Amino acid sequence: MADRLARFIEKNLADRKLIIVSNREPYAHRKSGPTVKIEKPAGGLTSAMDDVLNITGGTWVAWGSGNADRDAVDLDDRVAVPPDHPSYTLKRVWLTPGEVENYYHGYSNQVLWPLCHITLDRVYFRKRFWEDYARANRSFAAAVLEEASDDAVIWVHDYHLCLVPQLVREKRPGATIAHFWHIPWPDWSVFRICPQAKEVLEGLLGNDLIGFQIPLFVKNFLDCVKECLDADVDYHKLTVTYHGRITALKAFPISVDYEKFSAMASTRRIEAAIRDIRKKYGLSGYTGIGVDRLEYTKALLKRLQALYLFFERYEKFRRKFTFIQIAVPTRMKEPYLSYQKTVEEYILRINEKFGTSDWLPIVYIDTKVEHKDLVAYYRMADVAIISSIYDGMNLVAKEYVASQADRKGALILSEFAGAADELDGAVLVNPYDVEEFSSSLRKALTMPQPDRERRMDQLRKHVKEHDIYKWIHDVLHEIVDVAEREQNRSRYLFDHEIGFRAAISQVQPFLFLDFDGTLAPIAESPDKAVLSHTMHALVTRLKDRIPLAIVSGRGIDDVRRRVGIEDIIYAGNHGSEIWSAGQTLVSQQSSPDRMALEELLRRLSSALSHIPGVLIEDKGVTASIHYRTVGIKNLADFSDLFNRIARDYEKTFRITSGKKVVEIRPLNAWNKGDAVSWILEQLGGGRTPMYIGDDVTDEDAFQVLKGRGGVSVSVGGSVHADYYLRRQDEVEPFLESMASLVGAGVPSRA
């Protein structure tokens, strides 16, 4: 898998600079007596990202937190790393002690961390936290800007740096910026507590791509944007369009270096190490393992409560089962110090209550254990316990699985850890239900060996196939795709009006206009959409000067009635009908797929009938399923049911999502692009097409225009249009300026 990633990087990222941005640095210089030591954090993610930069070169921007870091950098705060074979640049950002306090311990760890983990009474907000968070983010962004040209690929990590994407975007509009959010994203009822909900979301929407651990967090994020910002949220495409920019969202479950753990766990050395551990702690019988930062969201207390109950309820396990808790102190401030004290007191209580002269129920190791040594604990343990009350993923679960070379262990996993989404074969527990939790521990320890092996085989297969290299590959692959889309992305029309006017004044235009979302604002339901008087007058003025066609997803009669201007051309049903001067010129109404469409609509109507707000519009050849007024609670249900049925018709229909509407069209029916081509060939008189539309179905027309030297304008974001307008209410002023331009006499009606 690592080789595949290396090949992908060499092929796709060789000519663009990759910049990683994270709070923690991959190498820290620390004074150790008279010498300076270089520390490398043990984390699997850091070392995998380090591998990537070793291949690509590039820069890693991070906080210089080591006490000898300043001595190691050059005048631009850079140092070449890895120290023994430098292949990329580490650029350090300096934070004042006050910023560390307020940005890191304050806003990051006392506001965003507890908020995202829904431990709401731990959220502690101070104004100065936010001020320094914003200041520190500006420092990170400034460092990125010093390194990044306009075509850089920038990959930001985690919740410390929410504002960086937007700050960088303002100065480097052409850069590709992606973010991975390592922790959960809560739903809106929780996120709305954040006093800076809007600023945080806006900062993140500077990204082209935001990755989350599991689909639930993607959905929660979309809900928050929908509730908090005036943005266009697409639950099918998983995109947000805000101020004309598109941000894509996707779930990428993070993982571990399976081969490394598996190989380390299969050596002879490990067996000797296990013997040493057993001897050191006097272990006989079963063992369990917990490996965590001393972090309240990992719920060590719930785990200890379950262990207490376990020893109380199942006496036969006393002296036969020992639980080893490896807990590394973290963040070393309140509330962590109190939490550590409570955990340690609870362990003492269990050991005093159930321990004997030659057996301790709980062995407590309160230091960091290097992965190479940790593997022996993982391999030895009959059971591992992950009890998080909420967790983005939880890598310990996957490290344990990867280290179970002899497949005899069982994994007890909180259903609230992201890993539970993927790890079929684990024994899932609700950590709040401590009684059930203690029964699950018994179940795991008494599970017949063939069952354990079957479950562990299933788990190992999954982690092997979805390791950290696949994760990086998948994220980078998506980043490259987004970058490609970005290259073709359109420009905001009012920022480029001079160029646009120059382009138009050189040619004789033929104007194509979409109706819903372009000439008329999107209405709650399709029957409520109306053309304003001013827009009607404007279109009338334009059609007197240049040839003009309305191209709509609506049926011909419907759109003609709504526009109310007779001497222009209409294309309806997404292009499968064309009408002009009182007669139908093209009609594909007798579609051979009519029966299939009826069947599909029948199935949808019965499956979706319980969801208020779904509107099924049968337009003969095509159909539209509107869900604009479906409540936020029902959206996931709607999309799940819809997709399940739609899958059966992929070979017959083209199914695309528009603005709160899904369009269903026969695969062989004409689209808007076909209609535009036909109109230009038959009626165009050699004119240059100009097209304005807002919908995904307009993309077909935009593509046709590209091949004909035309000019396309999308309302909202677009993949293929040359220019975009931010909102529908910008269409009128734009058409006004068009009218004055063509009225000046240069291009006229043929």
Which residues bind to ligand ADQ, rule: CB under 6 A? 42-45, 182-183, 254, 291-293, 326, 328, 368-369, 374, 391-396, 399
- Cis preceding-peptide flag for 215 (omega within 30 of 0): no
Of 177 and 475, the one with the shorter C-beta distance to ligand ADQ is: 475
Which amino acid, one-letter code, is at 674? D
Q: How far is the CB of 279 from ligand ADQ (least distance, A)?
A: 21
Q: How far is the CB of 466 from ligand ADQ (least distance, A)?
A: 13
Going by the DSSP 8-state scheme, the letter that residue 13 receives in this structure is S
DSSP 3-state of 495: helix
Going by the DSSP 8-state scheme, the letter that residue 244 receives in this structure is T
Instruction: Please say whether the beta carbons of 571 and 554 come within 8 A.
Output: no
For the chain, give the number of residues.
750
Provide the H-helix boundaries in 322-467. 336-354, 371-380, 395-403, 434-446, 449-465
Of 231 and 326, the one with the shorter C-beta distance to ligand ADQ is: 326
Of 475 and 571, the one with the shorter C-beta distance to ligand ADQ is: 475
Of 396 and 483, the one with the shorter C-beta distance to ligand ADQ is: 396
Q: Which residue has the tokens 């967790």?
A: 391
Distance between CA 5 and CA 469 in Å, rounded?
6
Distance between CA 507 and CA 546 in Å, rounded?
11
Q: How far is the CB of 252 from ligand ADQ (least distance, A)?
A: 10
Of 292 and 593, the one with the shorter C-beta distance to ligand ADQ is: 292
650: tokens are 């992929």
Q: How far is the CB of 298 from ligand ADQ (least distance, A)?
A: 7
Of 411 and 559, the one with the shorter C-beta distance to ligand ADQ is: 411
For residue 573, which phi and psi values (nearest 5 degrees)?
A: 50, 45
Instruction: Please say whether the beta carbons of 377 and 369 come within 8 A.
Output: yes
Of 273 and 690, the one with the shorter C-beta distance to ligand ADQ is: 273
Sign of the CA dihedral running 721, 722, 725, 731: negative
* Angle at alpha carbon of residue 318, lines to 314 and 319, rounded to 5°: 160
For residue 370, which phi and psi values (nearest 5 degrees)?
A: -60, 150
Beta bridge partners of 509: 688
Distance between CA 645 and CA 121 in Å, rounded?
43
Which amino acid, one-letter code, is at 654? R
Q: How far is the CB of 377 from ligand ADQ (least distance, A)?
A: 10
Of 42 and 73, the one with the shorter C-beta distance to ligand ADQ is: 42
Of 46 and 697, the one with the shorter C-beta distance to ligand ADQ is: 46
Beta bridge partners of 571: 551, 578
Of 307 and 472, the one with the shorter C-beta distance to ligand ADQ is: 472
197: tokens are 């909900």
Inter-axis angle of helices 449-465 and 395-403, to 10 degrees? 120
Q: How far is the CB of 134 from ligand ADQ (least distance, A)?
A: 23
Q: How far is the CB of 202 from ligand ADQ (least distance, A)?
A: 24
For residue 662, what are the CA distances in angstroms to 89, 109, 263, 684?
47, 41, 49, 31
Q: How far is the CB of 397 from ligand ADQ (least distance, A)?
A: 8
Distance between CA 248 and CA 259 in Å, rounded?
31
Q: How many CB atoms lie within 10 A of CB 566?
A: 10
Instruction: Please say whether the beta carbons of 517 and 728 come within 8 A.
Output: yes
Of 292 and 558, the one with the shorter C-beta distance to ligand ADQ is: 292
Q: How far is the CB of 327 from ligand ADQ (least distance, A)?
A: 6
Q: How far is the CB of 305 from ligand ADQ (least distance, A)?
A: 20
Distance between CA 429 and CA 410 in Å, rounded?
13
Of 399 and 486, the one with the shorter C-beta distance to ligand ADQ is: 399
Instruction: Please say whether the beta carbons of 208 and 680 come within 8 A.
Output: no
Q: How far is the CB of 117 from ligand ADQ (least distance, A)?
A: 8
CA 194 from centre of chain: 20
Of 1 and 291, the one with the shorter C-beta distance to ligand ADQ is: 291
Q: How far is the CB of 373 from ligand ADQ (least distance, A)?
A: 9
Question: Which residue spans within 158-307 are E strands per DSSP?
Answer: 176-180, 209-212, 232-234, 239-242, 245-251, 286-293
CA 62 from centre of chain: 22
In 345-355, which positions are buried (b, 16+ CB within 10 angstroms) versus exposed (e)? ebbeebbeebb
Of 369 and 585, the one with the shorter C-beta distance to ligand ADQ is: 369
Q: How far is the CB of 172 from ligand ADQ (least distance, A)?
A: 26
Of 288 and 392, the one with the shorter C-beta distance to ligand ADQ is: 392
Of 395 and 444, the one with the shorter C-beta distance to ligand ADQ is: 395
Distance between CA 209 and CA 653 in Å, rounded?
29
- 442 burial (CB, 10 Å; 0-12 / 13-18 / 19+) is middle
| Closest listed residue to residue 11, CA positions, set 59, 55, 58 | 55
Distance between CA 107 and CA 109 in Å, rounded?
6
Going by the DSSP 8-state scheme, the letter that residue 610 receives in this structure is T
Q: How far is the CB of 491 from ligand ADQ (least distance, A)?
A: 36
Q: How many CB atoms lie within 10 A of CB 63?
A: 24
User: Which residues lie closer than 8 Å to 271 by C-beta, 6 or more apart?
Assistant: none
Instruction: Please say whether the beta carbons of 574 and 556 come within 8 A.
Output: no
Of 154 and 413, the one with the shorter C-beta distance to ligand ADQ is: 413
Cα Rg of the chain (Å, integer)? 30
Q: How far is the CB of 396 from ligand ADQ (least distance, A)?
A: 5
736: tokens are 């006004």
Q: How far is the CB of 226 from ligand ADQ (least distance, A)?
A: 25
Of 371 and 687, the one with the shorter C-beta distance to ligand ADQ is: 371
